[in-house]
Amino acid sequence: MTLDEGLKNLHQAKDRKLPWAEVAEIVADITGAKEWRTRYASREDMWAALEESTGFKRNILQRFATTYRAISEIEQKHRAELRDALGLKASGRGSLAWAIGSFGKAELVTRAYKIDAADGLPLIRRVLISGLSINDIREEYREILNRQPEGKIVRFKSAADARQDMARSIAALEENASLLYGNEDARFYYGRYRFSLVSIDAVALAWQGLSVSFVDGFVIVQGAPPKAEADYQELLSKIDYRASFFRHLWLYAPMPGNWPLERISQDMNRLGLLSVGIALREEGGEVRVVRRPRGGEKPPRYHTVIEEVMRQGIPDFAAD
């Protein structure tokens, strides 16, 4: 589907009451492809056009697309286990999303599966077979959530699965880039850059002309939070070290659990680390900024990151 075809099909989607899965599939295609760059100067312009065309706000469109992608991945991975439950709907792209029905149900079962696939997949089957209500699904989701040990790290079957989950966490950030960067056209890269003096989970950068405007670093906060004071102090030391390399350092918690994010924010103030930001992904899937970094002079080791980014290259740098 071309960009023009997609925009035409999305025209007045909210007023026409198009099914969420239909809207989500088109939005996922448009935002996932590079064709939008031939028409829009920035990602912000693209989202503004999608808002105007559909009548939906950007936040809900992003949630639609994120949920649709996740549901499609679950369907592809478990096609055999779901075939009987899907019945005649087991063919064609997005079959599971359409079969589940409402967006609220789809978003909840996706979150349940992400927390624990062993419980999440049977829940999806019950939704398909028994037609559970949204309240029933919500209760089961809470039970799954409450069964998780404190600070549980998601267990992966393979390193490839772990990389995919990390990539999805970064994708959620990218889809909510306006919350972090406003009108700046920040681009996120996971697994592309390696720095000789500092380790980082992802970077976001932007450029103007032939110069890099900024490079920010992202640390994914997950697993069990530090309990001993010595471990907590070590955490602060690591944050301090990483912050000395990037314009802004973001701590991002896709599953915040019991992490003391407010305490970390207060201690960043006490240490004078104003360039550190904190964001989390809430239970509903929305990204929320807990602490917004402030500007100022570039940190002392910032030039080393710039040099290595330029040496390793930036995709599409010349095209823009």
Domain containing residue 201: CATH number: 3.40.1350
Structural domain contains residue 152: no
Contact between residue 54 and residue 95 where contact means Cβ atoms under 8 Å apart: no
Structural domain contains residue 318: no
pLDDT bucket at 282, cuts 50 / 70 / 90: confident
- CA torsion 235-238-243-245 (nearest 10°) is -170
Tell whether 234 and 304 lie within a shared domain.
yes
pLDDT bucket at 17, cuts 50 / 70 / 90: very high
In this structure, how many other beta carbons lie within 10 angstroms of the beta carbon of residue 80? 7
Query: Which pLDDT tens digit goes with each residue over 181-211?
Result: 887 778 888 878 889 888 888 899 988 777 8
Domain span holding position 134: 3-146
What are 253's strand-pairing partners? 280
Tell whether 271 and 233 lie within a shared domain.
yes
Domain boundary among 146, 164, 189: 146
Rounded to 5 degrees, what angle do the CA atoms 157, 31, 95 make? 60
| Cα(225)–Cα(259) distance, integer angstroms | 5
pLDDT of residue 317: 54
Structural domain contains residue 162: no
Structural domain contains residue 255: yes
Inter-CA distances, 90 with 82, 114, 181, 249, Å: 8, 22, 41, 44
Query: Which pLDDT tens digit goes with each residue over 56-66?
Result: 988 888 889 88
Contact between residue 5 and residue 26 where contact means Cβ atoms under 8 Å apart: no
Tell whether 114 and 59 lie within a shared domain.
yes
Domain boundary among 86, 111, 146: 146
Structural domain contains residue 242: yes
99-103, 157-161, 278-282: which range is least confident on average? 157-161
Query: Which pLDDT tens digit goes with each residue over 106-148?
Result: 988 988 888 888 888 999 998 988 888 888 888 888 777 766 6
Structural domain contains residue 160: no
Structural domain contains residue 157: no
Q: What is the value of pTM for the model shown? A: 0.52
pLDDT bucket at 151, cuts 50 / 70 / 90: very low
Tell whether 220 and 281 lie within a shared domain.
yes
Structural domain contains residue 151: no
Higher pLDDT, 318 or 223: 223
Q: Which run of H or E residues covers position 256?
A: none
Query: Which pLDDT tens digit goes with each residue over 215-231?
Result: 999 998 877 788 888 88
Q: Where are the beta strands (DSSP E) in the chain?
A: 187-190, 202-208, 211-220, 249-253, 276-281, 287-291
> Number of structural domains, the chain?
2
